[in-house]
Amino acid sequence: MPIIVNLDVMMAKRKMSLNELSAKVDLTLSNLSILKTGKAKAIRFSTLEAICRVLDCQPGDILEYVPGYQDQ
């Protein structure tokens, strides 16, 4: 899929662990992990909004479109 999830990059920039983000966003660790690893097929706008609020970033900082990219 040509959509790349850069959640791990933003978390590293903010020095935030998956556990900490999970608690602040009120999302299960399992669901957040699926999103972080790029295995999610969809994301709710409310979830994206909460992540952006907590990480103080824009949706484009987390999601990136790369034409022609295929999962390895």
- pLDDT one-digit tens code per residue, 5-61: 999 999 999 999 999 999 999 999 999 999 999 899 999 999 999 999 999 999 999
**Would you say residue 52 lies in a domain?**
yes
Rounded distance, CA 6 to CA 16, Å?
Answer: 14
Task: Judge whether 72 lies within some domain.
Answer: no
| Domain housing 27 | 3-64
Handedness of CA 24, 3, 8, 11 (dihedral sign): negative
Residue 12: predicted pLDDT: 96
User: What's the CATH code of the domain at 41?
Assistant: 1.10.260.40
Maximum Cα interatomic distance, the chain, rounded to a whole number of Å: 35
Domain count, the chain: 1
